[in-house]
Structure 1
């Protein structure tokens, strides 16, 4: 007499053993203790913050290294801070002058927004003369800038620079820059320029 179910029992045994072994190994994993949580002390946290913060000068040095170390002459610069987007944190305006940054119509004005430990460029406007100011009017939630223009065949005047939702205009003498009858509150004047060291 044959046993029809004996083959099934023998085949099922290895599978049952494999499942049992897997269950035991998983149970053993759960018993291991979690590694201790790492907590930074107050002094370690403040030191890390101090090291991670980028200064405006560091940003200029990183992004305009050719202008900083030019044989043609020294980079001149001036900075000002003003809250342009109304979030309570001031943005930085950096006026960059010198042979590598200027033409007959003026120099470059860079608008920087603090972004974590560094800065994000919100516009670089060419052919800007001093003074540079800020207006009470807004475009896309950001205050309009006012800059002086002259030279390069252009009559002296004041231009309003609106924010377009992403950046300020690239050139102070073409649209969307428009005429302004005031410089508003002066942020950077010619007296503020100093050599970049």
Structure 2
């Protein structure tokens, strides 16, 4: 088991999946320092872990979910009291240890790999999801033309499942449970 260390940002009500991008306003001092540390010392790599309770101002290990996302910082806009940061998800990660670093909080994480399952079932699930999303296009604001076009290009089950769930109006616990699911077909 290979462990890696990265700066940590605890998010409120946000779960990011691999191969997805999201813009988040980062305002807490700990989080701002983590973004700056990632920029300067970690090749723009950072870990996002979602908080269990949104109101928690200074979360600790027990206040965040144990699975998060290793991300790359794509863009930062600086404002007076916060940063607007575009993150791109890279891999699912499991929290091993929270470290109080000198520049920012850090996490020691294990990279989690998706588990390939039955390929025939995966192909059938992709067709089913593609047909359903195509049917929903225009009727549901969460199903965009972009998603339907990407599916028609033949994206794989791993990418498709992460792409589809990002836009669905699911509650935090359901999105987190999905992030923790490693089996591609299970997702």
**Structure with greater strand share of residues:** 1
TM-score when scaled to structure 2? 0.21
TM-score when scaled to structure 1? 0.20
**Structure with greater helix share of residues:** 2
